[in-house]
A = this chain, B = another copy of it.
């Protein structure tokens, strides 16, 4: 049952009303709403994971972990909201001696954008779906959310939405603050609706770019926070390769096959020093063979994966190192090529194979890595495997320019939810390079600032009153004050 555009518009209007009626809620109230959702998801964990197993073919252990992560994320965001960190409250008192001329009293805080449309991803049915990072951070910001359920897990999507709506209602949030739609027509209606003020999206570069263009082309363009494609290159130095080649290959095999390679952070290209194909293949196969393949998330993803693998196999200068297949539960494939081929065919590095496949690239000199990295497009992550004392300065500078997160001697597929996390990067990793979709900093995407000039104390929002009734952390006359909560 798909949502009609008219029904989607009705939900947006209801969401807008809920947004309006909740504008003056305290940080404590909003924090409680997030905790309530978190608790109810936890209570229904077994039922939700069961549904997710049926619809996504991912294994129960992984899905249980993902739900715990989602529950934790809501609690961490609730704490951040309670501390008022996301409000960025800044107070500059009147100052007749201010350097450019007398300064009036001026105070700034962040306010929510309004109604946000969120597009769930298929590959993380909890963490990047109905109540994933985008929805959670938009609600934390004080926005209302209309979420477009991914067609890969419709029953789980509906059921999660019921649990969330019940939790919000029980906690006293206004009705309509969160709702879901299904189907493409409703999705497009969301992006077009004048009352929708931002979009959160996780998915393919093709679909993401089309929606980005749609959002940018509106009479009132709106921010589109899209996380699109990334091949997440890994760079292995000669020393690291010499000292722990098989450990690195075991780590690679685990990382590119976890969740059947259906991770936006899957290491899709690995640069290693020249080496014996047979030995590398053998080490990879040993690990890969111990991991039984599973059915992919959706038939469409399986088809797209098969096509991307075929395209890679057809590329001049690329050969197969570990033979996989395109069965319903495909066995992983590893390709091999040289840095010269990548130099001549740079589009190889833009070719995301979303599924259990990766490409090993042989290189000779560090300068080649720096040159290739300098020319590559934006990435969610890059990784380096190196030994202590190696000179990585130039490489790391280039990687900082190109990626949202750099991982040292580890694999990019784990994404912790924390204050310092950054899940973003230059295009096409995201459509908004200054933002993250994971961690507490994700809230900022859905807010904008308002300054209040020369206001009477009684008319100021709570967050900006001198007495600091919410006890939040603020910056006052340029100096950051500590948190004043118990």
Residues of A near any B CB (own CB < 8 A): 20, 23-24, 65, 68-69, 72-73, 75-76, 90-92, 98-101, 103-104, 106-108, 111, 113-114, 197, 212-213, 216-217, 220-223, 377-378, 388, 392, 396-397, 400-401, 403-410, 414, 416-422, 424-428, 431-436, 441, 444-445, 447-456, 458-459, 461, 473, 475, 477-480, 482-483
Set B212, B216, B455, B480: member contacting A473, Cβ < 8 A:
B480
Q: Are A421 and B68 in contact (CB under 8 A)?
A: no
Q: Are A392 and B104 in contact (CB under 8 A)?
A: no
Q: Are A452 and B406 in contact (CB under 8 A)?
A: yes
Chain B residues closer than 8 Å to A441, beta-carbon distance: 90, 108, 449
Set B90, B107, B406, B432: member contacting A223, Cβ < 8 A:
B432
CB-based nearest B residue for A405: B451
Set B111, B420, B435: member contacting A106, Cβ < 8 A:
B420
When all copies of this chain in the complex are counted, the total is 2
Q: List 26 A-B contacts (CB under 8 A).
A: A68-B101, A72-B99, A90-B441, A91-B420, A98-B416, A101-B416, A108-B419, A108-B422, A111-B401, A114-B401, A212-B216, A213-B216, A216-B217, A220-B427, A221-B427, A223-B432, A403-B450, A404-B450, A405-B451, A407-B454, A422-B451, A424-B449, A434-B445, A434-B447, A436-B449, A473-B480
Docked pose: A397 CA to B108 CA in angstroms: 14
Chain B residues closer than 8 Å to A420, beta-carbon distance: 90-92, 106-108, 451
Chain B residues closer than 8 Å to A405, beta-carbon distance: 450-453
Chain B residues closer than 8 Å to A431, beta-carbon distance: 221
Docked pose: A483 CA to B20 CA in angstroms: 38
Given contacts A72-B99, A73-B100, A416-B104, contact A449 B480 (CB under 8 A): no
Docked pose: A10 CA to B20 CA in angstroms: 50
Q: Are B433 and A223 in contact (CB under 8 A)?
A: yes
Docked pose: A435 CA to B405 CA in angstroms: 24
Docked pose: A428 CA to B425 CA in angstroms: 27
CB-based nearest B residue for A112: B401
CB-based nearest B residue for A455: B408
Given contacts A65-B101, A405-B453, A434-B447, 15 further A-B contacts (CB under 8 A): A76-B99, A92-B419, A103-B416, A108-B420, A108-B421, A108-B422, A114-B401, A212-B216, A221-B427, A400-B450, A403-B450, A406-B451, A422-B451, A424-B448, A480-B482
CB-based nearest B residue for A432: B223
Chain B residues closer than 8 Å to A436, beta-carbon distance: 449
Q: Separation in Å of the A68 CB from the closest CB of chain B?
A: 6
Docked pose: A383 CA to B92 CA in angstroms: 19
Q: Are B90 and A72 in contact (CB under 8 A)?
A: no
Set B397, B410, B432, B448: member contacting A23, Cβ < 8 A:
B397
Docked pose: A113 CA to B222 CA in angstroms: 21
Chain B residues closer than 8 Å to A450, beta-carbon distance: 400, 403-406, 422
Docked pose: A434 CA to B450 CA in angstroms: 10
Q: Separation in Å of the A38 CB from the closest CB of chain B?
A: 11
Docked pose: A421 CA to B403 CA in angstroms: 31
Docked pose: A295 CA to B447 CA in angstroms: 41
**Best-buried of A104, A114, A414, A451 by chain B (most CB within 10 Å):** A451
Docked pose: A431 CA to B223 CA in angstroms: 9
Q: Separation in Å of the A119 CB from the closest CB of chain B?
A: 18
Chain B residues closer than 8 Å to A418, beta-carbon distance: 92, 98, 103, 106
Q: Are B404 and A451 in contact (CB under 8 A)?
A: yes
Given contacts A216-B221, A434-B447, contact A69 B101 (CB under 8 A): yes
CB-based nearest B residue for A391: B459
Q: Are A434 and B72 in contact (CB under 8 A)?
A: no
Q: Are B419 and A100 in contact (CB under 8 A)?
A: no
Chain B residues closer than 8 Å to A477, beta-carbon distance: 419
Q: Are B453 and A113 in contact (CB under 8 A)?
A: no
Chain B residues closer than 8 Å to A475, beta-carbon distance: 419
Docked pose: A80 CA to B403 CA in angstroms: 26
Given contacts A418-B106, A420-B90, A480-B473, contact A100 B408 (CB under 8 A): no
Chain B residues closer than 8 Å to A433, beta-carbon distance: 113, 197, 223, 448
